[in-house]
Amino acid sequence: MGEKSSTLFPITFNKSLVVDTREERLSADGGAVILREIDQRLHITQYLAENLHDPRDPNTTIHPLVELLRTRLYLIAQGWKDADDADKLRNDPAIRTAVSTRKGQDPIKPENKEDNSSKPLPSQPTLSRLLEILADPNNRKVLRQSLIQAAKDSIRARRRHRFQQCTIDIDSFPIPTYGHQDGSAYNGYYQYNCYHILVATLAETGDILDIQLRQGNVSSAHELDDFLFPLIAEVEAAIAKVVSVRGDAAMPSEPILSGLEERRIGYCFRVKSNPVLERSAQPYLDNLPPYQPESQREWTAELAYQAESWSHSRRIAMVIVEQKQIDLFEPFNHFFLVTDWTEEQISGSDLLDFYRQRGTMERWIGEFQDVLQPSLSCASRPRKNGERTTQRDDFACNEALLLLYALAYNLLNIVRRLMEKATRQGWSLRRVREQVLKTAVHFTLHARRIWAWVARPAAQLWTLLGRQITRLHPVPT
């Protein structure tokens, strides 16, 4: 007697189990609190709010710019990538507490309509207008600068000083597009409509240093010089004294190679094979030792080569790898690397090891695509007469959204590195999200405090992570 007869759905396997809901401050996204604490210590969103231009009228503004930024970043990091998801989570206690600028119990206490002491998360239209604000050219520059700023602050918060030397990995990758997205185009290499993204990461930490939205039909190295050289100057000023650059065969060109040499930047790129290189390599391939399928052996050979578009001859390291699988026709595989380091500075085998470390960067970019799943779909809806409802720059809005995805990735990457240090284990971004951030938390109000009761299976991981967070050195504002 006294039990409710209506439930969410009936259970047949155990009649004593009843599935129902009631007004409780429960959240499945307790990790938003962790993201805010790291954000607070590194001043990531605070830096943005202080440097971005907000054209809104302060007298009619309900949500400060910093709350809008936190909402969008934390939702992306937690796996809620669509702005529509904010409407579903408007009263989620964990996210409301994490994004709010208010102190005490105001973020989640019962809403008081008279003084507006508590308010839900921003709505989907408000977050869409945020992208229009960020699409401003100057604001996009600030977003770009925040990527390097966040990487610099996270390094100094753990090390107190910058690196002596670091490596910038550059690459490109596609983001599929659907519908009529401004700038999307068919890419013959990937064979679908997409944006062709240019990205640079810091090899020592995995942070994204810069990312650029490009049309889908451009080449991998399109506008690379305008992208790379200013980035190198900023990295040298903020992160490391000595910088080197690494990339695949689609990146090297005469402007890039000569520009790096003029700046005395060490580089290593793979070079596409051609008949001239193959003729130079043939004497070495003819004198290889007998094939041994039970083991894998490697050799390097030094070549000098000048392409028609190059201004001078450059060092080429030919890499010969004995394949594990038995292939009577091609038992050996070979490829070429170009570098401005001399053989005295770095041997051929060490250069090969240096280039292969680029595989870690490819794994990080794969995580960015797989875990965050960036969906760029900012498009003004046309009216019945074919005209657009607004005059906004959809391509610029999509680039601003891409930069937010990159910043959310860097925030997740900081959690990953702290968890690896705390547990002395390797962590993927998916594991970080599923085991640390997607944690059930029960919020209660008591004695002028907000109590967040964490599910016991995650409590141990939160304790280990919390110790690492408290050890972060304060970053000057």
pLDDT in tens, 414-436: 999 999 999 999 999 999 999 99
* Residue 60: strand, helix, or coil: helix
| pLDDT value of position 350 | 94
pLDDT higher than threshold 50 for residue 355: yes
For 259-267, what is the mean pLDDT? 95
Statement: residue 25 has pLDDT above 70: yes
The answer for 393, left when phi > 0, alpha when psi is -120 to 50, beta otherwise, is beta
Instruction: Tell me the pLDDT tens digit for each residue of 188-212.
Output: 999 999 999 999 999 999 999 999 9
Q: What is the DSSP letter of 434?
A: I
Q: What's at 17, amino acid-wise?
A: L
The pair of three-digit structure tokens given for residue 197, joined into one six-digit string: 């993204």
Which candidate, 322, 318, 311, 331, places its Cα nearest to that of 276? 318
pLDDT at position 388 over 90: no
Which residues are paired to 171 by β-bridges? 199
Taking each helix axis as running N to C, give the angle between helix 31-42 and helix 65-78, from 0 to 180 degrees, rounded to the nearest 10.
130
pLDDT in tens, 124-177: 888 989 999 999 999 999 999 999 999 999 998 887 788 899 999 999 999 999
Q: How many CB atoms lie within 10 A of CB 473?
A: 12
Which of residues 462 and 321 earns the better pLDDT score? 462
Backbone dihedral region for residue 386 (phi beyond 0: left; psi -120 to 50: alpha; all else: beta):
left
Closest alpha carbon to 392 in 384, 92, 400? 400
The band of 291, judged by pLDDT with boundaries at 50, 70 and 90, is low
pLDDT in tens, 69-107: 999 999 999 999 888 888 888 888 999 999 988 888 888
* Cα–Cα distance measured from residue 249 to residue 273, given in angstroms and rounded to the nearest whole number: 9
Average pLDDT over residues 440-461: 87
Each residue of 312-336: pLDDT tens digit? 999 999 998 877 665 555 667 889 9
